[in-house]
């Protein structure tokens, strides 16, 4: 059988518009039969062209004249080679055929021909030929039918045929999650952002009456185990609506179109019970940015497009809210994040000391604790642990208590399970040793102080040594007072100093250089390079630009377009800028060494401090005459808006 035939047939079907989806088995059957007919017609046409058709009497004449060399009796025809043709070279021989009269005795004819000395190839009995024909058409039909069914099944999104689109989807629906915000410890900022959604689900009319559009979706961003699923469930629980959950990886399928059909299915089911919450875990599995770099992945693209159009499609007044979770927001497609889709981004950070304590409290609510238990100590020991780690820790402790035949969990149980669960045999890299914590604290305060003490710097809004989603062990967040579109050279140089401030502090205090500064240094180098090559802020090259941005709307990558010697000169200037920035930052920190120590110690205890707290320290040093508690002059914007710069 010709394998190409099935391929063609598959392609045709992929190009079919969706509304032509075959609705049932009969469609598949009819298409199969039509294909078989067409195919056998073509087959006949092709095979006949190799032979010359003759009449039966021509054949009889040739036989009687003794002019036959070879005869092959097929089920429906006689193919024969005359002696004249047989003399020619094999390639140019042309055989003849003539129809086989029904009812003629094939065996007798074969015997007669044989007696005449003609070579008879495989005389085929009628029974045999009939079976051959049945087999031939039967197998063709069976194979084609099988393929047609495969195709139609996966194209039937409505599951009319019980297609793949439905059967395997691991979708869970809970009428009542039974989880409320009380079960989610800490994460106050995330909860705050979600309160509005809950209110909307409670009373959509209040919002639609006034004409307000609520976000259709929110993206929960955070490390695994920080409680994103828990938060989404809590939203459903608080609002008292059903909760649909599916994992992004469940959408990713081998066959094109199946993921898309699952998305459709999910939203259809949700629409039936709205208001409700749809939760898509690991959305990065489907929402990855579309690109052509690694060949196009049409399945993923179709699924994503379907998701986008479903989100666009549902009426907000129906009360469907789509929550999605990811720990890799940077790889998501821009189209997912644009307004009207997952435009709200809710950061679910690793918990700080207080958050960890609250989490421990939540999970020990139903556990009998003995008198000596001090949860604060456990919380202090577990910097960097996420909610899931802590839940696990508490459970392990309870199991240990049972194993040892005790009626309540004591502090030792908790400490031992801390060692096994979190510190573990192999230390998890997110739990820092004391020395590492000190290093990170000084590093971050180094950044923050340089920024706070410089004239042109953006105010600091938050410093934390709680490890961050992105893998940073701590970060300093700066918030511009107003949106800025232009930067002066002074501001950029200040920015350079702030960026290298972390490394400067490490070197100054501990005399070491750590890997933690690598991202800072890359950014500083990039900035310095841009200053030299693009902004005309170079001492030696003046205003000559040596790099240009090729595609501003794609990656914004700049390409050097200058002589090699000039490129070397650029490198030299970049290095000089960085060296100068490091020297300046070090000098500044040396001059304010006591301030650096004070703030770092404070940060080590609190783990997260605000810009106000930092400025209080700075102002106290600068103006000891002022009364304590005076509001700092440069008050940073408190709330977190888009576009904070972290380092």
| Residues at the interface with ligand ADP (CB under 6 A) | 184-187, 222, 224-230, 325, 359, 362, 387-388, 391
| Pairwise CA distance, residues 237 & 67, whole Å | 94
| Pairwise CA distance, residues 352 & 608, whole Å | 7
When asked if residue 259 is in the footprint of Zn ion (CB under 5 A), the reply is no
| Pairwise CA distance, residues 224 & 307, whole Å | 23
Quick one: what does residue 359 bind among ligand ADP, Zn ion, none, with the CB cut-off 5 to 8 Å set by partner type? ligand ADP
CB of 230 to ligand ADP, least distance (A): 4
The DSSP secondary-structure symbol of 421 reads: I
Nearer to ligand ADP among residue 131 and residue 388 (C-beta):
388
- For residues 237 and 184, the answer to whether their CB atoms sit within 8 Å is no
The end-to-end CA distance of the chain, in Å, is 64
Q: Is 444 a catalytic residue?
A: yes
| Pairwise CA distance, residues 68 & 95, whole Å | 11
Quick one: what does residue 228 bind among Zn ion, ligand ADP, none, with the CB cut-off 5 to 8 Å set by partner type? ligand ADP
Total length of the chain: 647
Quick one: what does residue 529 bind among ligand ADP, Zn ion, none, with the CB cut-off 5 to 8 Å set by partner type? none
Which residue has the closest beta carbon to Zn ion? 502
- For residues 236 and 211, the answer to whether their CB atoms sit within 8 Å is no
Residue with tokens 């700049």: 558
Residues 544-603 that bind Zn ion (CB under 5 A): none
Nearer to Zn ion among residue 530 and residue 645 (C-beta):
645
Quick one: what does residue 520 bind among Zn ion, ligand ADP, none, with the CB cut-off 5 to 8 Å set by partner type? Zn ion
Quick one: what does residue 230 bind among ligand ADP, Zn ion, none, with the CB cut-off 5 to 8 Å set by partner type? ligand ADP
CB of 220 to ligand ADP, least distance (A): 7
Nearer to Zn ion among residue 401 and residue 441 (C-beta):
441
- Three-state secondary structure call for residue 630: coil
The DSSP secondary-structure symbol of 68 reads: E
Angle at 138 between CA 134 and CA 140, to 5 degrees: 125
**Looking at 238, 282, 301, 444, which residue is catalytic?**
444
CB of 616 to Zn ion, least distance (A): 23
CB of 431 to Zn ion, least distance (A): 20
Residue with tokens 């094999």: 90
CB of 372 to Zn ion, least distance (A): 40
Contacts with Zn ion by CB under 5 A: the residue count is: 3
Q: Percent helix, strand, coil in the chain (nearest 5)?
A: 55, 10, 35
Which residue has the closest beta carbon to ligand ADP? 387
Quick one: what does residue 647 bind among Zn ion, ligand ADP, none, with the CB cut-off 5 to 8 Å set by partner type? Zn ion
Contacts with 620 (C-beta within 8 Å, 6 or more apart), sequence order:
626, 628
CB of 288 to ligand ADP, least distance (A): 19
Residue with tokens 């400025």: 615
Nearer to Zn ion among residue 218 and residue 499 (C-beta):
499
Dihedral pair phi/psi, residue 573, rounded to 5°:
-70, -40
CB of 613 to ligand ADP, least distance (A): 24
Residues 303, 304, 306, 310, CA torsion sign: positive
Nearer to ligand ADP among residue 353 and residue 517 (C-beta):
353
Give the closest residue to 462 by CA, choosing from 385, 230, 472: 472
List Cα–Cα distances, 530 to 382, 413, 516, 562, in angstroms: 41, 56, 23, 14
Nearer to Zn ion among residue 314 and residue 442 (C-beta):
442
Nearer to ligand ADP among residue 226 and residue 417 (C-beta):
226
CB of 573 to ligand ADP, least distance (A): 45
Dihedral pair phi/psi, residue 146, rounded to 5°:
-60, -45
Quick one: what does residue 239 bind among Zn ion, ligand ADP, none, with the CB cut-off 5 to 8 Å set by partner type? none
Q: x/- contact string, 478-507, with Zn ion (CB under 5 A)?
A: ------------------------x-----
Residues 365-424 that bind Zn ion (CB under 5 A): none
- For residues 613 and 597, the answer to whether their CB atoms sit within 8 Å is no
| Pairwise CA distance, residues 527 & 496, whole Å | 7
CB of 421 to ligand ADP, least distance (A): 12
Nearer to ligand ADP among residue 157 and residue 391 (C-beta):
391
Q: How far is CA 117 from the centre of its chain?
A: 76
Burial of 35 (0-12, 13-18, 19+ CB in 10 A): buried
- Three-state secondary structure call for residue 214: coil
Residues 504-523 that bind Zn ion (CB under 5 A): 520
CB of 386 to ligand ADP, least distance (A): 6
| Pairwise CA distance, residues 466 & 440, whole Å | 10
Task: Dig out the tokens for 412 from the structure.
Answer: 């030792």
Nearer to ligand ADP among residue 31 and residue 360 (C-beta):
360
ω into residue 275 within 30 of 0, thus cis? yes
Out of 264, 350, 363, 647, point to the residue binding Zn ion (CB under 5 A): 647
Quick one: what does residue 502 bind among ligand ADP, Zn ion, none, with the CB cut-off 5 to 8 Å set by partner type? Zn ion
Quick one: what does residue 184 bind among ligand ADP, Zn ion, none, with the CB cut-off 5 to 8 Å set by partner type? ligand ADP
Residue-by-residue DSSP string for 522-538: HHHHHHHHHHHHTS--B
Nearer to ligand ADP among residue 186 and residue 502 (C-beta):
186
Q: Which residues are catalytic?
A: 444
Residues that bind Zn ion (CB under 5 A): 502, 520, 647
């Amino acid at each position: 059988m010709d394998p190409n035939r099935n391929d063609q047939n598959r392609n045709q079907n992929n190009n079919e518009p969706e509304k032509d989806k075959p609705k049932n088995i009969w469609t598949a059957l009819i298409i199969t039969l039509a294909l078989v007919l067409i195919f056998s017609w073509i087959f006949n046409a092709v095979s006949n062209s190799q032979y010359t058709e003759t009449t039966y009497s021509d054949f009889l004449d040739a036989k009687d004249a003794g002019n036959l060399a070879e005869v092959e009796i097929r089920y429906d025809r006689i193919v024969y080679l005359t002696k004249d043709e047989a003399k020619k070279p094999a390639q140019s021989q042309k055989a003849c055929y003539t129809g086989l009269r029904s009812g003629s005795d094939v065996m007798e004819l074969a015997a007669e021909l044989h007696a005449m000395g003609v070579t008879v190839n495989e005389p085929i009995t009628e029974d045999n030929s009939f079976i051959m024909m049945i087999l031939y058409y039967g197998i063709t039909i069976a194979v084609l039918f099988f393929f047609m069914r495969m195709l139609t099944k996966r194209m039937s999104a409505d599951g009319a045929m019980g297609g793949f689109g439905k059967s395997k989807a691991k979708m869970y629906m809970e009428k009542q999650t039974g989880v409320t915000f009380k079960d989610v410890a800490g994460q106050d900022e995330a909860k705050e952002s979600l309160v509005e959604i809950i209110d909307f689900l409670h009373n959509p009319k209040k919002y639609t009456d006034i004409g307000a559009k609520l976000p259709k979706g929110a993206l929960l961003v955070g490390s695994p185990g920080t409680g994103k699923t828990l938060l989404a469930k809590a939203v459903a629980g608080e609002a008292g609506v059903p909760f649909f959950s599916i994992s992004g990886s469940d959408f990713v399928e081998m066959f094109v179109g199946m993921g898309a059909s699952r998305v459709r299915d999910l939203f259809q089911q949700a629409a039936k019970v709205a208001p409700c919450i749809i939760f898509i875990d690991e959305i990065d599995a489907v929402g990855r940015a579309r690109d052509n770099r690694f060949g196009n992945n049409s399945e993923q693209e179709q699924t994503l497009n379907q998701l986008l159009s479903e989100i666009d499609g549902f009426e907000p007044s129906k009360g469907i809210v789509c929550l999605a979770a990811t720990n890799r927001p940077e790889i998501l497609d821009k189209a997912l994040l644009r307004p009207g889709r997952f435009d709200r981004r809710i950061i679910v950070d690793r918990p700080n000391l207080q958050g960890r304590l609250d989490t421990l409290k939540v999970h020990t609510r139903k556990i009998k604790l003995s008198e000596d238990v001090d949860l604060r100590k456990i919380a202090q020991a577990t910097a960097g642990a996420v909610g899931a780690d802590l839940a696990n820790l508490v459970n392990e402790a309870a199991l240990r208590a049972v194993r040892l035949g005790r009626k309540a969990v004591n502090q030792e149980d908790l400490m031992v399970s801390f060692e096994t669960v979190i510190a573990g045999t192999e230390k998890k890299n997110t739990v820092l040793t004391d020395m590492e914590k000190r290093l990170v604290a000084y590093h971050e305060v180094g950044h923050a102080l340089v920024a706070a003490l410089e004239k042109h710097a953006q105010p600091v809004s938050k410093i934390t040594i709680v490890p961050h989603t992105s893998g940073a062990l701590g970060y300093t967040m700066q918030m511009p007072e107003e949106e800025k579109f232009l930067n002066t050279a002074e501001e950029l140089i200040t920015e350079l100093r702030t960026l290298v401030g972390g490394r400067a502090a490490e070197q100054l205090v501990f005399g070491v250089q750590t890997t933690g500064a690598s991202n800072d240094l890359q950014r500083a180098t990039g900035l310095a390079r841009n200053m030299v090559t693009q902004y005309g802020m170079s001492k030696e090259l003046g205003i000559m630009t040596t790099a240009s941005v090729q595609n501003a709307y794609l990656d914004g990558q700049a390409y050097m377009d200058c002589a090699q010697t000039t490129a070397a000169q650029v490198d030299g200037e970049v290095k000089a800028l960085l060296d100068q920035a490091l020297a300046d930052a070090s000098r500044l920190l040396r001059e304010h060494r006591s301030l650096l120590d004070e703030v770092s110690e404070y940060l080590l205890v609190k783990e997260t401090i605000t810009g106000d707290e930092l400025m209080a320290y700075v102002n106290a040093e600068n103006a000891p005459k002022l009364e304590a508690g005076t509001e700092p002059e440069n008050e940073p914007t408190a709330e977190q808006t888009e576009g904070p710069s972290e380092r």
